[in-house]
Amino acid sequence: MYKASLTSKGQLTIPKEIRDFLELDTGDDVLFTITDIENKTILFEKAVKIELCPACNGTGEFIEYNLPCFLCDQDKYITKDKQILNPLLFQTLAKNKVTLTVKTHDSIDDKGFMLYEVPRITLFSNVYPEN
């Protein structure tokens, strides 16, 4: 059991062991849920940050190809801690003249598509040598 004292401003310092356990960082939000009114019991948990999926822009699919979104798995949102394609990554790539391509399928003649189980990510640059 861990203990914290309430300040005159109504603030608590969350004990380090609890912060570490919940993987809380500066700026993270926490949720308080009343679970038992009679016994004044609450549930305290880390709030999961979600964003619109940057791959499908929150539609859940790639409309032009009529394919489900591989990044959010059609959920339309992704949690910040599971975000693969960070928007800052795109800014860094663009600044350094690097192109990132995510390929989810290949055409098979004129008959359709072959979906990849795992998307193929390719980096290309006229500035950086190929490795």
Is residue 11 in some structural domain?
Answer: yes
* Percentage of residues of the chain with pLDDT beyond 90: 28
Q: Within this chain, do residues 66 and 99 fall inside the same structural domain, yes or no?
A: yes
| pLDDT at position 30 | 92
Does residue 115 have a pLDDT over 80? yes
Highest mean pLDDT among 33-42, 106-115, 116-125: 33-42
> Per residue in 56-74, pLDDT tens?
778 888 776 677 876 677 8
Does residue 40 have a pLDDT over 90? yes
Is residue 130 in some structural domain?
Answer: no
Q: Within this chain, do residues 74 and 114 fall inside the same structural domain, yes or no?
A: yes
Return all residues near 58 (Cβ < 8 A) that are at least 6 apart. 52, 76, 77
Does residue 34 have a pLDDT over 80? yes
**Higher local confidence (pLDDT), 103 or 42:** 42
Is residue 12 in some structural domain?
Answer: yes
Q: Within this chain, do residues 56 and 109 fall inside the same structural domain, yes or no?
A: yes
CATH label of the domain that carries residue 19 = 2.10.260.10
Q: Within this chain, do residues 66 and 33 fall inside the same structural domain, yes or no?
A: no
Do 47 and 29 meet the contact criterion of CB atoms below 8 Å apart?
A: yes
Q: Within this chain, do residues 76 and 116 fall inside the same structural domain, yes or no?
A: yes
Average pLDDT over residues 85-90: 67
The model's pTM: 0.43
Say how far apart CA 120 and CA 115 lie, in whole Å: 11
Q: State the residue range of the domain holding 43.
A: 1-47
Is residue 61 in some structural domain?
Answer: yes
Residue keyed to tokens 């860094």: 92
| pLDDT at position 88 | 67
Does residue 41 have a pLDDT over 90? yes
| pLDDT at position 14 | 93
Is residue 63 in some structural domain?
Answer: yes
The number of domains in the chain is 2
